[in-house]
Amino acid sequence: MNEAKNGLKTPVTQLKSVGKVRAEALMRLGAETIGDLIGLYPRAYENRGDIKLLSETVNGEKSALCLTVATQPKKALIRRGMSLLKFRAYDESGTAEIIYFNQDFLADKFALGNTFRFYGKVERKKMPSGKDVFSLSSPVAEPIRESISELAPLVPIYPLSPPLNQNLMGKLISESLTYLRGDAASDFLDDDIKMRNGLAGRAFALRTIHAPLSMRELEAAKKRLIFEEFFFFSLGTAFAGRRQRPTGGAVICAENDISDLASALPYDLTGAQKRVIEEIKTDLASGTPMSRLVCGDVGCGKTVVAAAAMLIAVRSGKQAALMAPTEILATQHYGDLEKLFSSLGIKTALLCGSTPRAEKRRIYEALAECDPEKRIDIVIGTHALISDGVKFSSLGLVVNDEQHKFGVRQRSALGEKGENVHMLVMSATPIPRSLALTLYGDLDLSVIDEMPPGRQRVDTFAVDEGYRERLIAFIRKLTGEGGQVYVVCPAVEEREAEEVEDAVEGDIFMSEISTGEAFSLCFEEKNSQPELKSAVKYAEELAERLSDKKIAFVHGKMKPAEKDSVMQSFAAGEIDVLVSTTVIEVGVNVPNACLMIVENAERFGLSQLHQLRGRVGRGSRKSYCVLVSDSKSERARERLETMRKTYDGFTIAEKDLSMRGPGDFVGKNGGAVRQSGALRFRLADMLLDGELFSLAMSEAKMLLDSDPTLEAHGALLHEINELFDIDANH
Ligand code: ADP
Ligand code: MG
């Protein structure tokens, strides 16, 4: 086993045909070792196994043909430096002209009477006589000796870097695959896991992904490798978290009577809030740094829980810091908390990027001040808090609000301004418990699963374009009554446009290879995509229709300061209708907003929709959420129906996870996890392979329950440590 392992660690320069230049090219593709090279999966396959007759071809489409050479290849010089090789070849349905440019040396290859598999773009023209004329220009040609079955039906297409070409990559990979021999014994997955989930072996999967003999084989290989990626991911995050938790060394914050805070509030804490505060109290008094994630639905009251934690830290002689992802949120928190804390005799400050220089300097000094009488106890701000100038005299607790907007690095950067600081993380989204344990394996989990009493339900409707007029009338009515309206349009992603451009007719893209469930989703959504509302156009249209209303527009490409200023005037009631891309997702509080319209609602995940819906119904106005979609897809309808019927964030999150996978929870930029390790998915797509992810996740959990230190799984442990960059001696 060890031998095989070392084999895969062999540098690529050991391959016969790899010298310095090629090694550098491979390096650019991320392949330093044979193992890395095997991990460069094809990005697509040419479907050369689907042999067509000439008569079946379509003009301009890439096809595979089985043709016999009918005429001696003829060379011709067309102009200086440009030569032509030309011959005719036939099958039972017709004859084609084959042309190669500047490749005279091929003349000997195409001996009269020999049969080849040609693959390339077919040009097909109808002559006035009604006869079809076929030609192929520089097709790939593979000699058929005995039968067509000796040729690979699916030919991989690799990512390249000059001077590498497809041929050469194919050869290098084939050579690398010979190093896999004997590796079967070191399959990282136990047999029972493979059996339960119908997974192929590792060596088979790796060989097959590079040289599949059929679509079915390829699907099986892909399934196995995707499962493995998810499995490692689940295992690694949970495992890394377990190992990195320090014990002891933290300041004991035991002054935990918060009754004066509770009585300063205009409401009673909910049972769930009280329970979570108790959990926090226990952590703060334990002597081990707290690492706790507080997870709860929009509006469940996480802020006051954070306030309680900060109060305990301050009463215990420490300082606390609260970091929010945007200036507007930080300002909002400050507005709420400053009053509360000053009534308790605690000094607070707000520190953001836009805070004036002089004020910043004053805050820096007051934070570093040692005299508890003079220093700032609690600072609230944006990532300006992690800038170098900020030094605390005695930081004891850090709170990160809406944490999925921060990476772990930023999360810990603030904590590093103190020693063994307690950390509280507030999630903006309810995360399914199982997933939270995986994604945030380094955090303990508290769940606020109860809403403050008297919250009104936001009535939710799913409608199609047919309702447009009524919708406009509805906006008019609500704004006429003094209410405010959000309209959210999806931002079209750049990636989608690129993929379409890249596509070549006839090639099978990796993303199209089914692993069961995933395929139908991807297929369905591609084929029933309704027209996308462009947010800009929409805003203009709306402004025309509602010319007496104040309509504003925010989008992701705007500068943060511009965005903030529009949001501020919306919050101040100076704007009636705010059209935006999803930037308002973050927890801004505008109690006067009473209608949320989501355009192209089929484009959003359920949790995202729930998040958006949570923006309204925060005040006394009766509130509504209208999901607009023209999608005919069964799945889209089902999802919108779920939104109409379900109001509990956790239930929605579980549904979302099972339908779309964990992508939305992890976030576009990878969120906490992808930054925490070197692990990047090569095949897996969180949005498409949700079902496999759930399976892999529960298998990883079972394995860790039975072998918590992975001592009985040496090879796996080694792999995880390496992928996640965990120091084994830690
Ligand atoms: P989130 O969990 O989304 O961050 P917030 O902390 O912003 O929610 O709270 C939302 C609103 O609910 C705030 O206006 C807050 O004052 C109010 N609130 C919080 N806890 C309670 C409670 N126990 N009873 C009534 N209102 C509450
Ligand atoms: Mg909040």
Task: Name the more confident of 276 and 83.
Answer: 276
**Which pLDDT belongs to residue 298?**
80
Mind giving me the DSSP string for 530-559?
PPPPPHHHHHHHHHHHTTTS-EEEE-TTS-
How many other CB atoms are there within 10 angstroms of residue 500's CB atom?
Answer: 8
State the CB neighbour count (10 A cutoff) for residue 5: 14
3-state helix, strand, coil in the chain (%, to 5): 45, 20, 35
Residue 2 buriedness (CB in 10 A; 0-12 / 13-18 / 19+)? exposed
| Structure confidence by residue, pLDDT tens digits, 146-162 | 888 888 888 898 888 88
Strand partners, 156: 45
Give the lowest-confidence range in 354-363, 393-402, 585-594, 609-618: 585-594
| Rg, C-alpha atoms of the chain | 31
For atom 20 of ligand 1, the residue with the nearest CA is: 301
Report how far ligand 1's centroid is from the alpha carbon of 625 (Å).
Answer: 20
- Ligand at shortest distance from the CA of 298: 1
* pLDDT interval class at 8 (50, 70, 90): confident
HEC letters along 305-361: HHHHHHHHHHHCCCEEEEECCCHHHHHHHHHHHHHHHHHCCCCEEEECCCCCHHHHH
Taking the CA of residue 401 as reference, the ligand 1 atom at the shortest distance is: 4
The alpha carbon of 63 and the centre of ligand 2 are apart by a number of angstroms equal to 56
Q: What is the chain's mean pLDDT, rounded?
A: 83
Ligand nearest to the CA of residue 304, numbered in listed order:
1
CA of 306 to the centre of ligand 2 (A): 10
Distance CA 671, CA 674 (A): 6
Instruction: Identify the residue whose C-alpha is closest to ligand 1 atom 25.
Output: 452
CA 250 to chain centre: 34
Range of weakest confidence among 147-161, 526-540, 602-616, 688-702: 526-540
Compute, in angstroms, the gap from residue 253 CA to the centroid of ligand 1: 25
CA 706 to chain centre: 30
Q: Among 307, 185, 629, 606, which residue's Cα sits nearest to residue 432? A: 606
**Taking the C-alpha atoms of 570, 573, 574 and 576 in order, what is their torsion angle to the nearest 10 degrees?**
80
Q: How far is the CA of 303 from the centre of ligand 1 (A)?
A: 7
The H or E element containing residue 460 is strand 459-463
Residue 497 φ then ψ, to 5°: -65, -45
pLDDT of the residue at 409: 58
Is it the case that residue 502 has pLDDT exceeding 90? no
Residue-range domain boundaries for the chain: 3-45+165-216, 49-151, 259-448, 459-662
Choose the residue to mutate in 267, 269, 586 for probing ligand 1, maximizing ligand atoms within 8 Å of C-beta. 267
- Give the ligand with the smallest distance to the CA of 307: 1
**312 touches 388 (CB < 8 A):** no
Average confidence (pLDDT) over 363-392: 93
Q: Which of 75-84, 366-375, 579-588 has the highest mean pLDDT?
A: 366-375
For a mutational test of ligand 1's pocket, the pick from 304, 620, 623, i.e. the residue with the most ligand atoms closer than 8 A to its C-beta, is: 304
Say if residues 246 and 422 touch (Cβ distance below 8 Å).
Answer: no
Between the CA of 613 and the centroid of ligand 1 the distance, in Å, is: 16
Residues 513-523 have pLDDT tens digits of 666 533 333 33
Question: Are 49-151 and 259-448 the same fold in CATH?
Answer: no
Of all ligands present, the nearest one to the C-alpha of 266 is 1
Percentage, residues of the chain above pLDDT 70 = 83
Which tokens in the block code for residue 596? 């949320």
Measured in Å, residue 304 CA sits from the centre of ligand 1 at 7
| Confidence (pLDDT) at 92 | 95
- Give the tokens for residue 188: 């990282």
Pick the residue whose CA is nearest to atom 26 on ligand 1: 452
- Give distance in angstroms: CA of 169 to centre of ligand 2: 51
What pLDDT score was predicted for residue 517? 38
Ligand 1 pocket mutation, candidates 274, 298, 300, criterion most atoms within 8 A of CB: 300
Q: What is the reported pLDDT for 520?
A: 32
Distance CA 652, CA 639 (A): 10
The CATH fold assigned to 49-151 is OB fold (Dihydrolipoamide Acetyltransferase, E2P) (2.40.50)
DSSP 493: P
Q: What's the pLDDT at 448?
A: 92
CA distance 32 to 43: 19
* N-term to C-term CA, the chain: 25
* Span from the CA of 551 to the centroid of ligand 1 (angstroms): 29
Q: Nearest ligand to the C-alpha of residue 336?
A: 1
Q: Going by CA atoms, what residue is nearest to atom 23 of ligand 1?
A: 269
CA of 649 to the centre of ligand 2 (A): 14
Reference 268, options 296, 312, 293, 301; nearest CA is 301
Atom of ligand 1 nearest to the CA of 304: 6
Domain 259-448 class in CATH: alpha beta
Q: Which residues line ligand 1 (CB under 6 A)?
A: 267, 269-270, 273, 296, 298-304, 452, 587
Give the range among 203-207, 384-388, 540-544, 672-676 with minimum mean pLDDT.
672-676
- Rounded to two decimals, the pTM is 0.63
CATH of 459-662, one of 3.40.50.300, 2.40.30.10, 3.40.50.150, 3.30.565.10: 3.40.50.300
What confidence tens digit (pLDDT) does each residue in 430-461 have?
777 766 766 666 678 899 989 888 778 899 99
Q: How far is CA 491 from CA 41, 171, 515, 714, in A?
A: 30, 42, 28, 46
Give the ligand at the shortest distance from the Cα of 277: 1
